[in-house]
Structure 1
């Protein structure tokens, strides 16, 4: 038992380090949301949202799954030397990124038309191409740092990148009075500087030795991640392009700003994901690995559900509170979309569970199933948006995202459990989520009737924890042990 707790404690420590990076990084990036929404009109911000949606999708084609392939083969050391395991996937990544980046740069006008970008903004596609290239060629070096448990160095590079990006945004927009192009120029400069900083790491792990067997194995493992990555990104960002088809840039901008408020739950999921993948790969051969994985899921659901409930109760108060210089968390023109935020937060809870279940798929090398699962989720999301937006508006788009994550989570569980069975604590998990939903429903209808003050609202999340404790679904002492406190 103590050995298991030590293992989970090591995960929690890595999660904390990655979490500091993620929280600081995401916070600095999130500072830009109120800045943008108070500086730019919803229609202008909608153009930015649309372009970054396509950046997310194109990232998959630039990386072609080689980051995941590198982590899989470098961690197991089945084929080739350490330097070959770094250099071979990195070379493939650079060549592919250079070819695709050049193609998009040269045919920027054609891609702008394809992306539904107005002609006056078509030049921004060239910035996109350069951003995609520099972001892609640092993926494997960053994966190397994660695999070597060099979380502090990883975090330092990431934070420097974000600080540069944020600082340049403020300088270009406030001092030089530039428009939305400043967002892309800042991103490009930060990405290029990050690449230059990481060059010594690349050269230190480089070899010109080419291992044909390793390359074949890498491509066989990595290429299935292309449809997986596309489908996963479709679920996260396809709502913006579809909204552009069904509405206009203004609606896209409002949706994007409110979707960004889901960052608070996304932080939890992101910091968990960064630590989780190297953790389960490095501990897969432990005798009690499956028991550890089951406990991790339960702990994640307890923490995640509380955060979802807490934020859902207070998000309106947080957004409408006045910040320095008369700013709000998002500009008043964007408040019409606040109803989607609890749905987005809840979606991230299921996405975190999905990430947890990926362990069995990785360990048993069954990544080909990820393509089918992700495509099912993507198809459901797209169909859901077209069906629900005309009826429910922006809430319908958010519900479609939630449903797709639930289906993907359930699908990957059944597939993973077939090849790598784990006895998860399902009775506890269902009870925890069910109670959270009942408590939120109680808050929602009470607030509708009585317009509750904040000191009354706090009763709901605290009451939720009390219910879990009374029903013996939650023990603070266990969480403290797992967190190594």
Structure 2
């Protein structure tokens, strides 16, 4: 069971990580070609897209997994889910086209109303692909899932590079691309449209079927998840969506550029989530499910802590490779904070299992908005009163830590899972201490930081030697 889960997680990881690595490799080009002020615009637009996608998808990805797990329900769930998301996407697209200039004026893009149209089209295509991608995951087709994701990313990256270097400006301008910051945005639209074409064989499986009684159950289940997803996007993007105007554009752009380096930790958490979510639901009716959940959480904490410190220990050379414009380095100290914040979110994701498998998704909404409220309050405090971009990073960290703790405590009350909290706490505390030493006293020195990293790995393996040996023997 664990081998299959690990294998699928690795493949899903490739599907989740490879596209982001491809676009991550593209990031130095964007930073080099787009000035800080332009990058602040780019970052803000993508922050808004993430909020819209959560609202349009309405939590139906997780709802699809939940109700497809019921015997004989998968096709009904697939059809009902797709047509609902098709409806929300189409209405949104129509509204953005009907009120294009008004929305552009309101958003501060009076001279670039095309941004709203591109924004709407990206959201439209991305939302149509939510259920087809979920279908691949549910039917254990991680290779097909990963291939589509990777092809999309390669196409988007090549198209972006082509706009910068090979396609004549006269042709670019005929498409309405007047500024450098337009290129990655337009390439994203083209990549999203390509994803629709690649998943067309799955989309044509959809039948004209909409089960009202099933939809009512799904909407009741997914609505709290949508609200929780919005809260998650607040935690991820509220800082970047409001910094422009509260701190200098130079600092806001640097924050967005350095934040993307911390995405390496996000990639690890995303890969894990892709493989684990269907697995959690398929395990929920088994007698030993709680022990399984506890073991999986411990394994995650073990490997995630190692990945987190590995990133932090190597910031000195990672920044030179992936953030070539030194003017962005004024925000370099946000990276360790965001890395640790994303680690805490990954652990929270494990702790959130209890309310998903017991259909108490409304509790997840409350927890998520508790974190979002903390994030909003701390961000406003940091940005309005202290003009501190570092404060924005700490706001994200604080939100995820509180969510992690609250979800654990409530879960132990309503659906107790035997997590080995002493061991997991040991991992986290040691990680925090070593990270502080690297930042505060070693100043990211690559040699000494990696010596500390190797010591950390040695301690982790020694503390978990029994678990590692048992896994080796079983293999």
1:223 aligned counterpart, secondary structure: helix
Aligned to 1:385: 379
The answer as to 2:75 corresponding to 1:94 is no
| 1:13-52 pair list within 5 angstroms | 13-52=7-46
5+ residue gaps, structure 1, are 1-6, 322-327
How far apart in 2 are the matches of 1:83 and 1:292? 28
Task: Indicate how the Cα distance of structure 1 residues 259 and 475 shifts in structure 2: closer, same or farther if over 3 A, else same.
Answer: farther
Aligned to 1:412: 407
CA contact (8 A) 1:17 1:151 kept: yes
Cα offsets for 1:156-195 (capped at 9, x unmatched):
1111111111111011122235522222221111111211
The answer as to 2:443 corresponding to 1:443 is no
Q: CA deviation at 1:97?
A: 0.8
How far apart in 2 are the matches of 1:217 and 1:22? 30
Q: CA deviation at 1:8?
A: 2.1
Aligned to 1:374: 368
How far apart in 2 are the matches of 1:235 and 1:148? 31
CA contact (8 A) 1:316 1:338 kept: no
How far apart in 1 are the matches of 2:299 and 2:266? 17
How far apart in 2 are the matches of 1:102 and 1:481? 56
The answer as to 2:196 corresponding to 1:195 is yes
Larger CA deviation: 345-354 vs 219-228: 219-228
The answer as to 2:65 corresponding to 1:71 is yes
How far apart in 2 are the matches of 1:172 and 1:309? 37
Task: Indicate how the Cα distance of structure 1 residues 106 and 209 shifts in structure 2: closer, same or farther if over 3 A, else same.
Answer: closer
CA contact (8 A) 1:381 1:401 kept: yes
How far apart in 2 are the matches of 1:372 and 1:183? 36
How far apart in 2 are the matches of 1:429 and 1:400? 23
Larger CA deviation: 226-235 vs 273-282: 226-235
| 1:288-437 pair list within 5 angstroms | 288-321=288-321, 329-389=323-383, 390-391=385-386, 393-437=388-432
Task: Indicate how the Cα distance of structure 1 residues 421 and 275 shifts in structure 2: closer, same or farther if over 3 A, else same.
Answer: same
Aligned to 1:144: 135
Aligned to 2:4: 10
| 1:239-254 pair list within 5 angstroms | 239-254=239-254
Larger CA deviation: 435-444 vs 289-298: 435-444
Aligned to 1:325: none
Aligned residues: 464
How far apart in 2 are the matches of 1:400 and 1:370? 20
Task: Indicate how the Cα distance of structure 1 residues 480 and 255 shifts in structure 2: closer, same or farther if over 3 A, else same.
Answer: farther
Q: CA deviation at 1:371?
A: 1.5
Aligned to 2:218: 218
Aligned to 2:151: 160
Larger CA deviation: 472-481 vs 296-305: 472-481
Cα offsets for 1:391-445 (capped at 9, x unmatched):
4722111000000011111222223333321010001011111112222233334
Q: CA deviation at 1:376?
A: 1.0
Aligned to 2:96: 104
CA contact (8 A) 1:44 1:250 kept: no
How far apart in 2 are the matches of 1:447 and 1:337? 18
Q: CA deviation at 1:201?
A: 1.0
1:440 aligned counterpart, secondary structure: helix
TM-score between the two structures when normalised by the length of structure 1: 0.91
Q: CA deviation at 1:475?
A: 5.2
How far apart in 2 are the matches of 1:27 and 1:134? 22
CA contact (8 A) 2:163 2:183 kept: yes
Aligned to 2:110: 119
How far apart in 2 are the matches of 1:272 and 1:469? 20
**Superposition CA RMSD, Å:** 2.0
CA contact (8 A) 2:257 2:323 kept: no
Cα offsets for 1:267-298 (capped at 9, x unmatched):
11010000110111111122221111111111
Cα offsets for 1:135-168 (capped at 9, x unmatched):
0001001001101111011111111111111111
How far apart in 1 are the matches of 2:233 and 2:419? 28
1:120 aligned counterpart, secondary structure: coil
How far apart in 1 are the matches of 2:305 and 2:212? 47
How far apart in 2 are the matches of 1:89 and 1:433? 39
Q: CA deviation at 1:481?
A: 4.0
CA contact (8 A) 2:341 2:396 kept: yes
CA contact (8 A) 2:67 2:73 kept: no
